[in-house]
Amino acid sequence: MIRSLYRLRSSLFGHCFTFVKLNYHRMIGQQKIYSFFRVASVSSGAKRQLASDNSSEENKYEQVSTPSKKLKSLDNVDRSTIGDSGVILSPEQKERMAQQRAKALERLHSKQGNQLSAGQVTGTPAGIGESWAKALSAEFKKPYFTKLQNFVEKERLTKTIYPPANQVYSWTQLCSIHDVKVVILGQDPYHGPGQAHGLCFSVKKGVDPPPSLVNMFKELAADIEGFQIPHHGDLTGWAKQGVLLLNAVLTVQAHQANSHKDKGWEMFTDAVISWLNKHCDDIVFLLWGSHAQKKGTIINTKRHHVLKSVHPSPLSAYRGFFGCKHFSKTNEMLKKVGKTPIDWGNLNME
C-alpha cells in the first residue's frame, strides 16, 4: 500500500513539472518574433564602401542596402526612397535619373558656351586673326575703338575706303602674334585703286609697285646676294615668315592721303606695338622716316633691336636709305638670338 501511494505521488509530481515546462515554453512563444534577432551593425569595411560610393557621381544612386540610420554621410540621397531593408533602383528609375543628369549638364554647357561666344564676338572686328584678337581684346572694349569702328562704317556708306573691309586686318592673318620676328612700320594705306590690301608698302599682284617699294627692292638687290627684283609688289611672302607690315593708320579715303588720321587708328596700332614690346623678345624693328621713329619711341631697346633710316620715298631715299643694309643686318641679329633669318627673296614669284 505504501509503495503504491509513493508511486502515485511521483507520477503526479512528474505530470505537474511537465505542465509547468510546457506552459513556460508557451509563454516564450508568445513574444514578438523580432525579439529573437539583433540589429546587425555596419562593419568598418561597409562604412568605407559607403564613403567610396558617395564620392562617385555615377554610382551615388546605384544601390542602398544598409539601414537608414547608418546613412548620415549620404547627404544627397533621398531618404524617402530608402526602406528598412534598403532600395535598389529599377532600370526605369536609373534611366530617368541619367536623362535628368544629361539635361542638366547640357543646360550648363549651353550657358557656358553662350557666355564664351558673347565674349568672343562683342567688339571684336571681323577678319582679325585669332591670336591677335585674344592679345588685343582689351582694346576692342574701349570707347575710342567703338567710335573708330562706327566712323569707318559710316565712311564706307558714302565714300570709297581702302583697303576693302575684309583686308583691313590682313597683317593679323598671315602669322601668329607670338611668331613676329620683324616689324616694318608704315604711315597709312595707299589711296589709289586696287593698291592697299592690309600690308604696309605691299600691293597685290597685277598692280605696279609704288616708288617707295621699288626703292626697297633696289636696296635689297644691293644688300642681299642673289636677290632678284620681282615683277610684282606683293609682300605676303614676308608676312608669312613673321614680318609684321603695319601701317600706323589702317584705312584711308580714296585719293585722300591721311584722311583717316587722328580718328583712333594710331591708338590701336600703338597698342599692337606695346603688346609686342612687352610680351616678345628680340624683335627687329625697322623704323624708316620720322613718323615711324616717333611711333617707335615706346620700344624697349634693351629687349629688342631697332634700325633707323630715312624713308624709302624717292624724296629721301638718296639721303640714307640706299646703303643702309637693313635687310642683311636684320638677318644677322636674328641669327645671333637663334631665330631663323628672313628669306627676303621668297615673294611667291610666278
Strands of the sheet with 284-288, listed across from one edge: 243-247, 182-186, 284-288, 305-309
Mapped to the 3 state alphabet, what secondary structure does 135-192 carry?
Answer: HCHHHHCCHHHHHHHHHHHHHHHHCCEECCHHHCCHHHCCCCHHHCCEEEEECCCCCC
Strands 182-186 and 161-162: unpaired
In whole angstroms, what is the distance from residue 99 CA to residue 2 CA?
93
Q: Catalytic site residue 270?
A: no
In whole angstroms, what is the distance from residue 175 CA to residue 241 CA?
7
Q: Count the neighbouring beta carbons within 10 Å of the beta carbon of residue 349.
A: 13
Distance of CA 16 to the CA centre of its chain: 96
Contacts of 258-262 with C-beta under 8 Å, sequence gap 24+, read 258/187, 258/188, 259/191, 260/152, 260/155, 260/188, 261/188
Instruction: For residue 124, give the DSSP letter.
Output: P
In whole angstroms, what is the distance from residue 284 CA to residue 306 CA?
6
Q: Which are the contacts of 11, defined by CB distance < 8 A and separation ≥ 6?
A: none
The answer, yes or no, to whether the previous bond of 163 is cis (omega within 30 of 0) is yes
Q: Are 309 and 327 in contact (CB under 8 A)?
A: no
Residue 203 three-state SS: coil
Catalytic residue of the set 75, 188, 208, 281: 188
Annotated catalytic sites, by residue?
188
